[in-house]
Amino acid sequence: MASTSNEIVSQRGRPKLVHDGYVYVREMTSKDGSTRFWRCQQVGACKARLHSCIDSNEVLKVIGTHSDEPNPGAIEMASRRCSLKRRAVESQSTPLQLIEDAYEGSSLAAKLVAPNPESLAWTVNRARKAERRPPAIPTSRATITIPFEYTVYQSEPGLSESFLIGDSGEGDEQRILIVVVLAEREGFVLPACYALLPNKSEDTYRRMIRIIRNAWPCMNPEAISMDFEKGLINAFSEAFPAAAIHGCLFHLVKNLKKKLTELHLMSRYRTDGNFSLSSRMIAGLAFVPPSSMDNVIAELAVFLPEELMPVLKYFEDTYVGSLRHIRPDGSVVRQEPLFPVRMWSVYERTINNDSRTNNYAEAAHKRLQTEFGVDHPSLWRLIDGLKKIQHHRDILLARYISGLQPRAKRKTYRKIPNTSPGVYFFESLLGRAYIGGGLLLERGF
């Protein structure tokens, strides 16, 4: 009784076999691998079985009698649903268009058992999502192969643009991928680039900058705000010698907190108000006019409790320069510090109402973590997440282009007196310490 049959696919992607109005599901394969055994999909009462040839899909025999009635309408609908899934991944038509095309000319019996349109739309979307399943996670940087769909970004339907703007190339174990550094224009801060780096070496940063400049030849920032990372500072200073390099006040304070932790002083910092205020005075040096730095440090050394002297010494050696000698006229000669005063001082920036931190970058990092939901996303999940975030950035860019004003700063940070709080604080360090600390420094810590 040899005859042919046809296969359909279940909603879970498993094969089913249709024969003489009945649907069978796969059960097992013969030991010699030549025959496939099927059972009726009606689980329970029906004991009918079917054997088919694996090579030709030919039905070899049917065993037993079906206890259920054949349902050609349901079979037709299942076949059309398979066709709908196939067309969903091959066509860019809308789900509604695909549903209408798939069921055009269907029989009345099929229409009577058809799922509702919402369910069919979900079928289309699930099929498309499964087709876009990310590639396997690469085992090394050198073997990363970026599929085309991960290298482009669709800013709006039908309009695509390059998203992967630079790549040091396959086979490079120190490979750098540049996907899509924050840029500020007239109060708007927008991500201009995301860099995926193998390490934090100075050479890696140099390579990163070269790739960025190849993709963005006109890049010429006036000022760059960054963490206190020497390799990063050296690389950007070399590439953009005319740009002002600013250290972030937030990270300056963070480094001081690390020093307090090393000296086992953080517990006292949290519980002793006077000690906490004295600690903040060291961070307050960032608001001192650079020309007054030596005098203020001398005053601070007299005022601070003995336990904070190692912290002040660390700050002086790292950010101001170790004291070498004092000239007869009272001027101070210092060694070159690791991070010069001009880099971390926020005196001028405060007076000019410029940003004192790179909180924009911190906010961007937080937004990324929220989107990914994990600390270490795969490369493909990372790129997909960046594309989603970019849609929000497009809104900000559109606001900038249209001439709208950026969102105003918080009122707390806009209420800055004509005289810088830092200047006011250090005009008379001992007499006005509490006022200065209350106005500004506790926000920094």
The beta strand positions in 242-389, using DSSP E, are: 244-247, 323-326, 332-334
Looking at residue 421, what is its pLDDT? Answer: 39
Burial of residue 174 (number of CB atoms within 10 Å: 0-12, 13-18, 19+): middle
Beta bridge partners of 61: 51
Looking at residue 256, what is its pLDDT? Answer: 94
Q: Do the beta carbons of residue 59 and residue 2 sit within 8 Å?
A: yes
Query: pTM here?
Result: 0.58
Any idea where the domains of the chain sit in the sequence? 6-131, 141-247, 249-353+416-444
Phi, psi of 323 (to 5 degrees): -70, 125
Q: Which residues of 383-411 are buried (b: 16+ CB within 10 A; e: fewer)?
A: bbbbbebbeebeebeeebeeeeeeeeeee
Residues in the chain, how many? 445
Q: Tell which residue, 345, 354, 353, has the closest CA to residue 184.
A: 354
Looking at residue 419, what is its pLDDT? Answer: 41
The span from the CA of 63 to the CA of 67, in Å, is 12
Q: Do the beta carbons of residue 197 and residue 204 sit within 8 Å?
A: yes
Q: Does the domain spanning 6-131 belong to CATH 3.60.15.10?
A: no
Token pair 């849609």 in the structure block, residue: 391
Q: Do the beta carbons of residue 370 and residue 160 sit within 8 Å?
A: no
Retrieve residue 260's tokens. 């307090």
Q: At what angle do helices 379-401 and 359-372 cross, to 10 degrees?
A: 130
Query: In which residue ranges of the chain is pLDDT below 70?
Result: 1-5, 9-13, 43, 92, 131-134, 176-190, 354-375, 396, 400-401, 403-445
DSSP letter for each residue of 422-434: HHHHHHTTTTTHH
Looking at residue 417, what is its pLDDT? Answer: 42
DSSP letter for each residue of 10-39: -TTS-EEEEETTEEEEEEEE-TTSSEEEEE
**Which whole-number Å values give the CA distances from 383 to 146, 174, 390, in the listed order?**
10, 19, 10
347 Cβ neighbours under 8 A, 6+ residues apart: 286, 287, 288, 289, 290, 420, 422, 423
DSSP element (H, E) containing 40: strand 35-40
37 Cβ neighbours under 8 A, 6+ residues apart: 26, 27, 28, 29, 30, 49, 50, 51
Q: Tell which residue, 332, 315, 312, has the closest CA to residue 324.
A: 332
Looking at residue 424, what is its pLDDT? Answer: 36
Q: Do the beta carbons of residue 165 and residue 193 sit within 8 Å?
A: yes
Q: Which residues of 272-291 are buried (b: 16+ CB within 10 A; e: fewer)?
A: eeebbbbbbbbbbbbbbbee
Burial of residue 242 (number of CB atoms within 10 Å: 0-12, 13-18, 19+): exposed
Retrieve residue 375's tokens. 């600390």
239 Cβ neighbours under 8 A, 6+ residues apart: 206, 209, 213
